[in-house]
Structure 1
Amino acid sequence: MGQHRCTHYRRRRRRGAERYCLAHRAVQGRRRTRPAEVAPSLDQGHVVPDPISPDDSVLARRLTVALCVALLSTFVWGLYRYTANFDVWTFEGHRQLAIQAGELRAPLVPLHEMGVTPVTLWGNAGGAPAAYLVDFIYTRCPSVCRVLGNEYQQMQARLLAQRARNPALKAVRLVSISFDAEHDDQASLREYAHEHQIDSALWTLAIPATPADTRALMRSLDVIAIPDGLGGFVHNGAIHLLDASGRLRGLYEFDQWPQALEAARQLATARREMP
């Protein structure tokens, strides 16, 4: 009896092992797919591109080189024109070239002296001064504008001292224009005028009537004012010499105020001597 049970147990284990082998082989058969069987399915679902011929590859490289050469030539030519034969590389250098060509002219925009009194300067027919020395400021400026204010004080003192001996200087006017309409109200302008002892007979402190007038005036003379992220501005700190029509005749750094004043005197003298 015990031997019969043992034999029966061995047969069951043998049949179980055979079933496991058959199942394992079936799974392996499904996993192992021949390449020849896969290729047709890929061809049916995807378009296999034709290989690029050597001639096409050479042509593509030549076209790429030609395009790069054309782009580089265009860039070099544009740079040559922009830098005036590779001689001028700065923004101020370009402004000097534009001045020499007579391309910069201030438009006739309405201004408010001390933020109150309407005033018209260059371009006004009749008794307009022959020369204007113009700077652009904002009264909260802690650096460049303060220096410009001090330089203008010195020019004002020299004009006052020399006008009696040189009548041409009576046709020279100092002008400071604020571009910060948001903050430079009447009180701020009065405080700036008091601080720098502005004599309105020689020196006009004004602000354009509208923000659009401010933008038009600054754009016409290539004056830039960029917010500095701290509530102020980074801007040009130059003295602009304008003639009676508003044409920009000269550009001077703030420490070149004696040269600027002399150029204004010469411009006023030349106009005085015109028939």
Structure 2
Amino acid sequence: MIKNRQTTISCIVVLVFGLSLFYIGTDGFTAYTAETARVTKLIENQPEFPDVTFEDSEGRKYSIDEFEGKYVFITFIYTGCTTICIKLEENMAQVYNQIPDEYIGKDIVFLSISFDPARDDPATLDKYKELFKSDGETWRMARIPDKKELDSLLGNFGVIVVPDGNGNFAHNSAFYLVNPQGTLVDVMDFSQVNEAADKLMNTLERDKGE
């Protein structure tokens, strides 16, 4: 009887200890994966867009101030990617097409940022944008030539990019929304196209009504 009681107590202690570790490791049960925890933390912290210089598919150079007063809907890609980036940009196009023309370019712009600036020069980006019907204006594709600036942005926004040594990268993928003040306000699951479009519309309509 005593032995069974000791066994039961031991099991309870192990269970409580395990749950404590799980609680700590998942930010209090609200995040069940490292990626979910990362996204939750980003949305809570709302980092500002750092001072970087873009060079887009037209060869134009500018900072994030180019989009002052507008929301910026962002993806991070590299044109040599033959897997997830293609789906990411296809979904980006679907979100773009769900936003009414009255908002596009005036209240919100779309921006695909390459994290492979050595290969993704303006000419390459110009060819790549044609695959997704990007107009190069209300949906731009750009690189950040300066590595320190690029690393600063990737770090601020929690974008993980790991080169494999063969010209490819392992990376996470999401939709990022920056508000007109240059602050990251949302990170969305790129596979949930309709949900992302609904979020954008709710945000744009809310701001219009204020």
TM-score, normalising length: structure 2:
0.79
Aligned residue pairs total 194
Q: Which has the larger radius of gyration?
A: 1
Partner of 2:50: 107
Higher helix share: 1
1:226 deviates by: 0.7
- Counting aligned pairs with the same residue, the percent is 24
Bigger relative contact order, structure 1 or 2 (CA pairs below 8 A, ≥6 apart)? 2
Kindly indicate whether residue 208 of structure 2 is the aligned counterpart of residue 267 of structure 1: no
Unmatched 5+ stretches in structure 1: 1-72
Matched with 1:218 is 154
Identify the match of residue 111 of structure 2 among 175, 179, 188.
175
What is the CA-CA distance between 1:229 and the residue it aligns to? 4.0
Equivalent in the alignment of 1:29: none
Q: Return the offset for 1:234.
A: 0.8
CA distances 1:187-218 after superposition (whole Å, capped 9, x unpaired)? 21111012222112320111114111110001
Task: Give yes or no for contact 1:134–1:174 (8 Å, CA) kept in 2.
Answer: yes
The aligned counterpart of 1:186 is 122
Corresponding residue for 1:128?
Answer: 69
8 Å CA contact retained: 1:172, 1:264: no
Change over 3 Å in CA distance of 1:98–1:104 after alignment to 2: farther
> In structure 1, what residue type is equivalent to 2:79?
T
Rounded Cα–Cα distance in structure 2 between residues aligned with 1:193 and 1:126: 19
Deviation of the 1:78 alpha carbon: 7.9
Q: Is the 8 A contact 1:150 1:196 kept in 2?
A: yes
Tell me if 1:151 matches 2:87. no
Measure the CA separation in 1 of the matches of 2:169 and 2:131: 21
Match of 2:176 in 1: 240
Is 1:141 aligned with 2:81?
yes
SS of 1:261's partner is helix
**Cα distance between partner residues in 1 of 2:51 and 2:202:** 23
Aligned with residue 117 of structure 1, among 60, 65, 84: 60
The change in CA–CA distance for 1:239 and 1:88 in structure 2 (over 3 A counts) is: same
1:256 and 2:192 aligned: yes
1:107-141 Cα deviation digits (max 9, x unpaired): 232211127201233xx398521x22100000010
The 8 Å contact of residues 51 and 149 in structure 2, kept in 1 or not, is answered as no
Corresponding residue for residue 28 of structure 2 = 85
Give TM-score, length-normalised by structure 1.
0.62
Structure 2 SS opposite 1:107: coil
In 1, Cα distance between equivalents of 2:150 and 2:46: 19
Render the CA deviation track for 1:7-51: whole Å, top value 9, x for unaligned: xxxxxxxxxxxxxxxxxxxxxxxxxxxxxxxxxxxxxxxxxxxxx
Structure 2's unaligned 5+ residue stretches are 1-16
Question: What secondary structure does 2:162 align onto?
Answer: strand
Q: Matches of 2:187 and 2:95 in 1, distance apart?
A: 16
> Aligned partner of 2:170: which letter?
V
Which stretch shifts more, 147-156 or 83-92?
83-92
Deviation digits for residues 43-89 of structure 1 (CA, Å, limit 9, x no counterpart) = xxxxxxxxxxxxxxxxxxxxxxxxxxxxxx9xx98875443235434
